[in-house]
Homo-oligomer: A and B are copies of this chain.
Amino acid sequence: MHSNQTPGPLDGFVVLDLSRVLSGPYCTMMLCDLGARVIKVEQPGSGDEARHFLPMAPDGKSAYFAAVNRGKESIALDLKSQDDRVIFERLLARADVLVENYRPGVLDRLGYGWEKLKLLHPRLVLASISGFGQTGPYRDRAAYDVVVQAMSGMMSITGHPGGPPTRAGSSIGDLSAALFACNGIQAALLRRSRTGVGGHVDVSMFEAQIAMLEGAIPQLWCTGQSPQPLGARHPGSAPFDAFRAADGHLVIAAGSDHLFASLAAVLEQPGLLQDPRFAQRALRVVNHAELKLAIESALARSPVDHWLSRLDEAGVPAGPLNDVATMMADPQVVNRGVLPEIDSGGGQRAPVTPILMTGHAYPDRLGRVPGLDQDREAILRFAQDGNGLPA
């Protein structure tokens, strides 16, 4: 199991996980990092299709799969076989949570729809993550990340003005749904601790992505215009962008009057503070293009590192544009132990769920990645008597 020495906050909770690919597995990985026991139930033969997703590690196994399934246990069960259904139902009777991300209706057709489950297991929390939700005209449609990034409007505000379609580079459509689902599961468990009754949590990737448009929806409402992509710029704060210095780019976020004054001092451009175009927060947003020219003309005198240390001394939020390798070597990342090794060997590191808590430090090791059906024996014992734990 995962190698925290102290029990996690969700110690004692058992999660049955029928989910595949990303949104569901990321959600259950969080529950696992928080201390729950996660039993991954996979299709015999091929298992979770993400086991075959690029990139592949030197041992031929998917590093992608490893990153979101570390610490879980695996059993292969064919939910169309009567014997395997008996095992699954014994596990259900011992589980607090069942997570699935089939298309809506598939779980019902397997005979485990909510209307049935709630009668058999009134304390169970069922979490269903889907592309568009369990109801509505798009209920039966599948979605992958790029589909919800596009349909939500997220892509309409990402990229450069007039430029080609651009997706946020990670699968934030899946991951935001995973984060909302994990919140929904925990809220349902808190309610259960008061009422004794579980519930069905319905999270839509499409809606999760819409909920991440914190500024774009107010902007449409205030201006009557759908907002457009702005490159690296913020629509409501300036300077808040990437800026070119002598040898490359850095980012600076200094929207408040106080931070803007500090920035002007670092740049040795006191004239910025007298300039009527930049005299107030709202004016700086309106005149962002002129402001960027003025800032970049000052930044051009010195390299990025020079400016970052000056800005840090002055307390102005700023930073380098790291690539992934540079980020992984960052002193703060190393100091906090943000990327522990996966136990399965090979040295792969992955981000821990970023929730530090008194009594629950970040683990030094993330647990092993289960091979398909690797924990069968222990899980069968657990199904039988509630006691089996993997070797």
Contacts and interface: CB of A to CB of B under 8 A. Distances in A.
Contacts of A315: 141-142
A346 to B, nearest CB: 9
A166 B165 contact: no
Interface in A267-282: 281-282
Contacts of A136: 331-332, 335-336
Interface stretch (A72-80, A87-95, A295-303, A356-364): A356-364
A389 interface: no
Nearest to A204: B354
Interface stretch (A104-112, A153-161, A380-388): A153-161
A359 B199 contact: yes
A357 B167 CA distance: 30
A133 interface: yes
Interface in A309-350: 312, 315, 317-328, 330-333, 335-336, 338-339, 347-350
Given A55-B236, A199-B358, A251-B150, A155 B321 contact: yes
A357 B204 CA distance: 12
A95 B160 CA distance: 45
B146 A253 contact: yes
A331 B156 CA distance: 19
- How many copies of the chain does the oligomer comprise? 2
A102 interface: no
A190 B189 contact: yes
Interface in A49-80: 49, 52-58, 63-64, 66-68
A324 B67 contact: no
B165 A214 contact: no
Contacts of A56: 222
A52 B22 CA distance: 38
Nearest to A66: B218
A285 B207 contact: no
Interface residues of A, number: 163
A135 B334 CA distance: 12
Nearest to A148: B319
A164 B231 contact: yes
A182 interface: yes
Contact of A354 (B150, B210, B217, B338): B210
Nearest to A281: B52
Interface string A99-129: 0000000000000001000100000000000
A239 B309 CA distance: 43
Interface in A181-225: 181-184, 186-191, 193-194, 199-204, 206-208, 210-223
Contacts of A147: 251, 253, 317-319
A226 B323 contact: yes
Contacts of A176: 175-176, 179
B349 A53 contact: no
Contacts of A143: 253, 317, 319
Contacts of A322: 150-153, 156
Given A54-B282, A144-B255, A226-B326, 4 more contacts: A9-B187, A155-B251, A207-B333, A210-B338
27 contacts: A9-B190, A54-B235, A63-B221, A132-B332, A136-B332, A136-B335, A138-B331, A138-B332, A143-B317, A146-B232, A147-B317, A149-B251, A150-B322, A152-B327, A153-B323, A157-B324, A165-B321, A167-B233, A167-B242, A180-B354, A183-B355, A191-B359, A193-B193, A202-B356, A217-B349, A220-B328, A226-B325
